[in-house]
Amino acid sequence: MIKHLGVKHSVVVATLAHTEAEIQQGARLREYCDEIIAEVEPSPVRWRNAFLALPTSQPSSAKYFSSRRLQQRIRQAFDAAPFDRILVHCAFMAQYVAHLPCALKILDYGDMDSAKWREYQEYRTFPLSLGYALEAWKLRRYEKRMARCFPQCTVTTRAELSEFETLGVSVPCRVIPNGVDAEYFKGAPCLRKDARVIAFLGRMDYFPNVDGILYFANEIFPLVRERVPDAELRIIGSEPGRAILNLNQIPGIKVTGYVPDVRLHLLDAAVAVAPLRIARGTQNKILEMMAFGVPVVATSQAARGIQAVPGKHLVVADQIRDFAERVVEFLQDQNLRGKFAAAAREQVERVHSWPASMSIFDDVLQLSKERPKASSTENLNFNTVQDLAS
């Protein structure tokens, strides 16, 4: 999105990072924007802020992304050269610009986090379930309040649009599907008869990913190994915690941690899994696998944000034995892998490519442009993103 905006607009990116290393990982953004306003807020500080918000009306997850220094720097940049348009990615970051007197503000929720926290409570026991329920209630109030500060909102799926509409605010909201860089993830299905690698891709400090892969490793993978004894589960993703690292002790499971190029670890993958029991919005990990030519077996929760036909572009399975059986089929049948890989790649190029999504985004910007402007700078576009390295 930033690359696309940089072609026609002058872009300033404001973001938080956990470490200086994360800022360096996002250094390539400078190729597409005029300025990056980045502040490091270490994880211990973030968690302290979130904890202190527990007895207050403020959502802890919003406080987790708060930074007084970033707030000050955004205000200074705005005072020096008022922004023509403001785009916020993720409701948690709306707090930084909700007060700025700029009429052309767009809040991209992505997915509605309050609904996600309601789902979290179902997978936690008391008293954690009560904490998640309270956070969901706080977040819903916060999302509603933030929506009223922006003349335009966007989400990534029709399901999220339906959730947004339950807020009861008279603010227009548009669906902009998540895209994938189809050229970057251009690969080919692994058609070796002896292909045995099952891939899982995703950040491993994100609770739905952690819950999903633990569920697969403990409940489904043993059934796969009964049928295919040399099957390998490869877990690819940064920031794995102890529970994930401990999976290395299970025969056939390998946890890679952060890798600079995930594509190199997918070349021999026969099938990818998305066994998420909690999922909102579009799972980019599924899009990337589909684009790279790796067939996907996913739960209905994980697949619902993908514009794809189950049984044609990917396989959906929710029961443990059914999920295991579908994985085994891909491990044993290279022709089946090739069939699904080709159909998935074609669907990604048609529906989930970035050019298609950015065309819709340009329409939203054009509609915003026709509204009265509160700032005097025509070409400066301000884009607030959640994290440089997310």
Domain residue ranges of the chain, discontinuous segments joined by +: 2-179+353-387, 197-351
Topology of the domain covering 2-179+353-387:
Rossmann fold (3.40.50)
Residue 232 forms beta bridges with which residues?
197
pLDDT band at 379 (very low <50, low <70, confident <90, very high): very low
Helix or strand run (H / E) with residue 274: strand 269-274
Average pLDDT, integer, range 144-166? 93
Residue 377 pLDDT > 60: no
Q: How far apart are CA 61 and CA 330, in angstroms?
A: 39
Query: Based on the number of CB atoms within 10 Å of its own CB, is 82 exposed (0-12), middle (13-18) or buried (19 or more)?
Result: middle
- Is 149:109 a contact under the CB 8 Å cutoff? no
Sheet (strand 380-387) strand order: 35-40, 10-17, 380-387, 85-89, 105-110, 152-155, 173-175
Identify the three-state secondary structure at position 28: helix
Query: Does the domain formed by 197-351 have CATH 3.40.50.9100?
Result: no
Residue 387 pLDDT > 50: no
Residue-wise pLDDT for 310-349, tens only, equals 999 999 999 999 999 999 999 999 999 999 999 999 999 8
Q: Which residue has the higher pLDDT, 369 or 303?
A: 303
Helix or strand run (H / E) with residue 108: strand 105-110
Q: How far apart are CA 211 and CA 200, in angstroms?
A: 13
Give the DSSP letter of residue 39. E
pLDDT value at residue 365: 84
Residue 257 pLDDT > 70: yes
Q: How far apart are CA 103 and CA 82, in angstroms?
A: 11
Q: How many C-beta atoms surround the C-beta of residue 375 within 10 A?
A: 19
Please check whether the two domains, 2-179+353-387 and 197-351, share a CATH topology: yes
Look at residues 323, 279, 277 and name the one whose alpha carbon lies nearest to residue 297: 323
